[in-house]
Amino acid sequence: MIVLPVILALSIPFVSAQANSTAVQIEAIEAHFTQAALVPELLATFDPSSILTINFDGVGDLSPGQALTQDQVAPTPTIQITAANSSVDLTGNFTLAMVDADIVGADESNITRHWLENSVVISNGEVSNSSATAITSYAGPAPASGSGPHRYVVILYQQPSSFSPPSEFSQPNLGVSKFDLNGYVKDSQLGPIVAANYFTVEVGTSTTSVSATSAVQSSTLASISAGTETSGSAAASSTSSASNAAMIAKTWSATSIFGMAAVVLALA
- Residue spans of beta strands (DSSP E) within 142-260: 150-158, 177-179, 193-201, 253-256
Average pLDDT, the chain: 80
pTM reported for the whole predicted model: 0.76
Task: Give whole-number Cα distances, 55 to 66, 74, 153, 256, in Å.
Answer: 11, 12, 14, 19
Tens-digit pLDDT profile for residues 54-99: 999 999 999 999 999 999 999 999 999 999 999 999 999 999 999 9
Give the Cα-Cα-Cα angle 195, 19, 244 (nearest 5 degrees). Answer: 145
Answer yes or no: are the C-beta atoms of 112 and 179 closer than 8 Å.
yes
Q: How far apart are CA 77 and CA 207, in angstroms?
A: 29
Tens-digit pLDDT profile for residues 172-223: 999 999 999 999 999 999 999 999 999 999 999 888 766 555 555 545 565 5
Answer yes or no: are the C-beta atoms of 91 and 123 closer than 8 Å.
no
